[in-house]
């Protein structure tokens, strides 16, 4: 497996964190595809090559990298809301369609006692407790905690320092902002956005945005989640 190179979809700050985790796991070379033409991407050391621009409609770049020895991929862009999670999901599905296989990455300082799905990422100091389940292509960012028996759906993002207490159920395409805390047993619907530092005491509907302490609904998402789910 480690003889095949990894494609990181993204070349910004989160991609750097992902690459450092991959290096620690023994993957010392691969390709980066920048997701934003306005950015030049962050320079990387070692054998990581910035291979150009990726868009949601361009499979040729991924197919070409497969011919150059790439066998695996991970999405290396973060999110600030549920819309960003949907974009991550689009890139993930595109890489699957190109024939690449998802790889799970985690920092050496992460504590993983539960299950992390394919293409997932667990950052430095993050903790996934026993019985917790993290869906495919989801991020558990720096210092975040997923307590026992909590569930995070696919293509979701738990921001730095956020805490999911025991038994919390988080849907897919959900962004939980940095420092947010979710009470035991709460359910967060698909496509929801939880603001930074929010204290969530009650269930959050599908597509809602909640902020504050205690968290209150700010707006309903207008996008069609079915399109993202494909």
* Mean pLDDT, residues 102-109: 96
Residue 225 lies in a domain: no
Final residue of a structural domain among 102, 135, 162? 102
The first and second tokens of residue 174, run together, are 């959900």
Whether residue 212 is found in the same domain as residue 152: yes
Predicted local confidence at residue 223, as pLDDT: 47
Whether residue 203 is found in the same domain as residue 175: yes
Whether residue 136 is found in the same domain as residue 52: no
pLDDT at 69 over 90: no
Whether residue 94 is found in the same domain as residue 198: no
Q: What's the whole-number average pLDDT of the chain?
A: 87
Confidence of residue 137 (pLDDT cuts 50, 70, 90): very high
Predicted local confidence at residue 46, as pLDDT: 59
Cα–Cα dist 134/156, whole Å: 9
User: DSSP letter string over 97-162?
Assistant: HTT-EE--EE-TT-EE-SEE-TT-EE-TT-EE-TT-EE-TT-EE-TT-EE-TT-EE-TT-EE-TT-
Whether residue 33 is found in the same domain as residue 92: yes
Final residue of a structural domain among 82, 102, 122? 102
pLDDT at 178 over 80: yes
Q: What is the pLDDT of residues 31-58, one digit of tens each?
A: 888 766 555 555 555 567 766 666 554 6
Number of domains in the chain: 2
Confidence of residue 221 (pLDDT cuts 50, 70, 90): very low
Predicted local confidence at residue 29, as pLDDT: 78
| 27-36, 59-68, 159-168, 217-226: segment of lowest average pLDDT | 217-226
Return the exposure string of 87-109: e unless at least 16 CB atoms fall within 10 Å of the residue's CB, then b.
bbbbbbbbbbebebebbbbbbee
Residue 83 lies in a domain: yes
Whether residue 114 is found in the same domain as residue 54: no
Can you give the pTM of this predicted structure? 0.88
* Mean pLDDT, residues 89-103: 92
Residue with tokens 């269930």: 203
3 burial via Cβ count (<10 Å: 0-12, 13-18, 19+): exposed
| Helices and strands in the chain, H and E counts | 4, 24
Residue 227 lies in a domain: no
The first and second tokens of residue 221, run together, are 């998402």
Which range of residues forms the domain containing residue 12? 5-102
Whether residue 115 is found in the same domain as residue 92: no
pLDDT at 65 over 50: yes
Sign of CA dihedral 108, 72, 91, 186: negative
Residue 175 sits in a domain of what CATH number? 2.160.10.10
Whether residue 87 is found in the same domain as residue 181: no
Cα–Cα dist 72/55, whole Å: 18
Predicted local confidence at residue 1, as pLDDT: 53
Residue 14 sits in a domain of what CATH number? 3.40.50.20
Whether residue 79 is found in the same domain as residue 111: no
pLDDT at 27 over 90: no
The first and second tokens of residue 106, run together, are 């985690």
Predicted local confidence at residue 224, as pLDDT: 43
Final residue of a structural domain among 66, 87, 102? 102
């Amino acid at each position: 497996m480690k003889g095949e190179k990894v494609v990181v979809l993204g070349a910004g700050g989160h991609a750097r964190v992902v690459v450092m985790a991959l290096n620690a796991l023994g993957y010392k070379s691969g390709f980066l595809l920048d997701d934003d033409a306005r950015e030049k991407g962050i320079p990387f050391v070692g054998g990581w090559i910035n291979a150009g621009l990726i868009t949601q409609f361009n499979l040729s770049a991924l197919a070409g990298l497969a011919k150059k020895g790439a066998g695996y991929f991970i999405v290396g862009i973060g999110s600030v809301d549920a819309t960003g999670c949907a974009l991550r999901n689009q890139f993930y599905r595109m890489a699957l369609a190109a024939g690449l296989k998802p790889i799970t990455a985690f920092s050496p300082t992460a504590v993983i006692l539960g299950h992390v799905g394919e293409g997932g990422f667990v950052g430095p100091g993050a903790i996934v407790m026993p019985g917790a389940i993290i869906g495919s292509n989801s991020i558990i960012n720096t210092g975040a905690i997923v307590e026992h028996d909590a569930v995070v759906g696919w293509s979701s993002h738990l921001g730095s320092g956020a805490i999911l207490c025991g038994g919390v159920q988080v849907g897919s395409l959900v962004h939980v902002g940095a420092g947010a805390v979710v009470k035991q047993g709460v359910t967060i619907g698909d496509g929801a956005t939880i603001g930074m530092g929010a204290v969530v005491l009650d269930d959050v509907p599908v597509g809602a945005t909640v902020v504050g302490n205690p968290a209150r609904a700010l707006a309903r998402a207008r996008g069609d989640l079915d399109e993202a789910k494909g």
